[in-house]
Structure 1
């Protein structure tokens, strides 16, 4: 009797939200208004302060009762609203493991890339890095302090775009482009304030350094459980997201746009 595993067999994927256990750092920093205005695609709307929200965490993904995948993951977003509802536009995700990267990109439209991550902790001092193409382009380090009084259980939403770039015409898409929303249910067991800093290093493949850290406005250490899922919100015209799509790719030839010329126009 023969088998063919290029076809999916029964009961290989469980329905519902994925359960995870996490620990790591959440942070918010102020950047330049013109950066946020250029970075945020339609129909998302910017909030009053030009901010970036990010997290660098270690995740244990419990795919089944007897299967757990452990990865490091960096998520970088722009806090914003959609039709008045708060959330954040997710424009960069980097993490370990091909399967978690491809599944998130294809299913939810998450802009995931394969990366190397590292967490170091000595006492109350934490340092974490994200590396791609041999460049540690993101680093966050700080000292864990006292427990804060922020809620341990809450839900937060991230916005992504899901589409298939055109085979024949660059800058267009084959079929619909969807605005999706990630629904992350947090059940933390610990939230502690931190003091520290974020370092962004130049990388032609991952140019987070183009989004400068003007002022670190918040940093905390968290640990506990999460459940993640998502949904489609609506279709959008492909031109709303076409110029942003390069952020999902490794294209060191991309020179980007001149923000001063963009403002003048």
Structure 2
């Protein structure tokens, strides 16, 4: 008898609807320019009242099976928005370690994941994390843990992505339907502390987070606990809703971007 592992064999553990993880996470919300936040957002998502960006860096232990745990670092940024009365964040950047977690998230949920090198250090009350791609450390966060804020009650938060297959023959178009998806992230944190820190973006043509500047830190915190991540399809959308934004999930250093007129610059 011959063995062929290019075909799925018997599944040893039951499939579940979500992935259970334990995490150590720096979470932050910052204000950017209103015009930048609006320009980042594809239809049919509606911009939130304030031009806020959600940012988190997580050290994640992914419990794939009772016997298998995969540990990664993961950076996520999303512009706050609303879809049919459900607030959340449109994910415009995700970077993390590991080919499998990147490709599965892109193919299954439409997450704009990229493979990265990350570091996470917690020494006493000091925390530092970085994200590096193409030899460029384009993200850093570091700071000092503060007072215990009391663990919040379990909650769920939502993030929006787009899932599609770029056209074989025509750049900028898609083969088949394009879907708006929603990530459903259930949080059960057992530790929540204030975090007095600094976020730094550095120039990278591959990952231009510097183009979404930090104007004011709204909140920062450090949390530890459990999460369960899953997702769902919401609806199909016209391909031109997402086509101009698809570049976010690829490495296109020659992309010139667009010009965004800022109200503050006009006033000056």
TM-score, normalising length: structure 2:
0.95
Maintained 8 Å contact 2:37/2:79: yes
Give the ranges of 4+ consecutive aligned residues of structure 1 lying more than 4 Å apart after TM superposition: none
Matched position secondary structure for 1:247 = helix
Which residue does the alignment assign to 1:44? Answer: 45
Query: Residue 20 of structure 1: CA displacement?
Result: 0.3
Question: For the residues of structure 2 that align with 1:10 and 1:243, how far apart are their CA atoms?
Answer: 41
User: Hey, what does 1:166 align to over in structure 2?
Assistant: 167
Aligned residues: CA RMSD: 1.4
CA contact (8 A) 1:109 1:180 kept: yes
Cα distance between partner residues in 2 of 1:129 and 1:12: 36
Answer yes or no: is 1:115 the counterpart of 2:127: no
Task: Give yes or no for contact 2:160–2:183 (8 Å, CA) kept in 1.
Answer: yes
**1:10 aligned partner:** 10
Single out whichever of 227-236 and 150-159 deviates more from structure 2.
150-159
Q: In structure 1, how many angstroms separate the alpha carbons of the residues matched to 2:120 and 2:147?
A: 20
Q: Secondary structure at the match of 2:210?
A: helix
TM-score (norm 1): 0.96
In structure 2, do the counterparts of structure 1 residues 152 and 191 end up closer, same or farther at CA, with 3 Å as the change threshold?
A: farther
Q: CA separation in 2, counterparts of 1:39 and 1:164?
A: 21
Give 5+ residue unaligned stretches, structure 2.
none
- What secondary structure is seen at the aligned counterpart in 2 of 1:259? coil
- 1:197–1:216 Cα contact (<8 Å) kept: no
Q: Which runs of 5+ in 1 are unaligned?
A: none
Q: Secondary structure at the match of 1:250?
A: coil
Q: Deviations over 1:125-170 (max 9, x none)?
A: 1110000001110111111111114624100011000000011111
Aligned length: 262
Asked if 1:193 is matched to 2:232, the reply is: no
Partner of 2:248: 247
Q: Which residue of 1 aligns with 2:211?
A: 210
Per the alignment, residue 154 of structure 2 pairs with 153
